[in-house]
Amino acid sequence: MEILNQIVDIFLHLDQHLGRIIEEYGALTYIILFMIIFVETGVVVMPFLPGDSLLFAAGMMAAKYSESLNIWLIIGLLLIAAILGDTCNYLLGKRFGATALQMRISGRHIIKPEHVAHTHSFYEKYGPSTIVIARFVPIVRTLAPFVAGIGVMDYRIFFKYNVIGGILWVFSLTLAGYFLGSIPLVRDNFEKVIMGIILLSVLPIIWQLVKKNLSPA
């Protein structure tokens, strides 16, 4: 329970944690941000890491600590991290996907079948555009490239949507944090803003579940 509380605290107070990292590590913050985004998008078993909220917080901190962080360098590095992460996940799915879906630890699947099912439903509805849409949906964001690899989506098609999705995701959320973070109402209510971002990002999953439960058997 304590670990869960710590995870929730990190999500809701990313601005404070990130501020301490900047003050303590300076330029190394770029590498830390890069690695978090790369792992969140590139390692299929790590979908719980902050993605949307981290981009927003990174933009907000770039505005606050402009002498330490350059917003355009952040955007460039995190865009590369996002594209490389999805590429890594695609290759993992293509090479090890079928085996990974069957792997268990203490009797539990390391990749939850229900998460894969939700991701499949996105593909059935949106096709390759799922790679773009998934950028804004937690869990699906991490699983979409992995499932694309399992399904042997043509890499050229995947890469095109990977780049488009990465650009839209990184630019929109990071710049939103950069410009909105200077507004006192946003800056002083960071926790509520992050809760709003999380709620908006999980709405597609909630909608899919509602439709599934309401549809006739």
Do the Cβ atoms of 170 and 75 come closer than 8 Å? yes
- CA-nearest of 182, 89, 172, 190 to 136 is 172
The Cα 59–Cα 171 span in angstroms is 10
Q: Read off the pLDDT of residues 48-105 as tens digits, 9 standing for 90 and up.
A: 777 888 899 899 999 888 888 999 999 999 999 999 999 999 999 888 877 777 777 7
Determine the pLDDT at residue 97.
Answer: 73
Q: Read off the pLDDT of residues 176-208 as tens digits, 9 standing for 90 and up.
A: 999 988 888 887 787 788 778 777 777 766 666
HEC string of the chain? CHHHHHHHHHHHCHHHHHHHHHHHHCCHHHHHHHHHHHHHHHCCCCCCCCCHHHHHHHHHHHHHCCCCCCHHHHHHHHHHHHHHHHHHHHHHHHHHHHHHHHCEECCEECCCHHHHHHHHHHHHHHHHHHHHHHHHCCCHHHHHHHHHHHCCCCHHHHHHHHHHHHHHHHHHHHHHHHHHCCCHHHHCCHHHHHHHHHHHHHHHHHHHHHHHHHCCC
Higher pLDDT, residue 169 or 50: 169
Determine the pLDDT at residue 2.
Answer: 57
Q: Read off the pLDDT of residues 204-213 as tens digits, 9 standing for 90 and up.
A: 666 666 666 6
Residue 70 dihedral angles phi and psi, to the nearest 5°: -100, 120
Q: Which amino acid is at 105?
A: I
- CA-nearest of 199, 132, 139, 192 to 165 is 132
pLDDT at 23 over 90: no
Q: Read off the pLDDT of residues 96-150 as tens digits, 9 standing for 90 and up.
A: 877 777 777 776 777 777 777 777 777 877 888 889 988 988 888 888 898 888 8
Q: Which residues contact 102 (CB under 8 A, 6 or more apart)?
A: 109
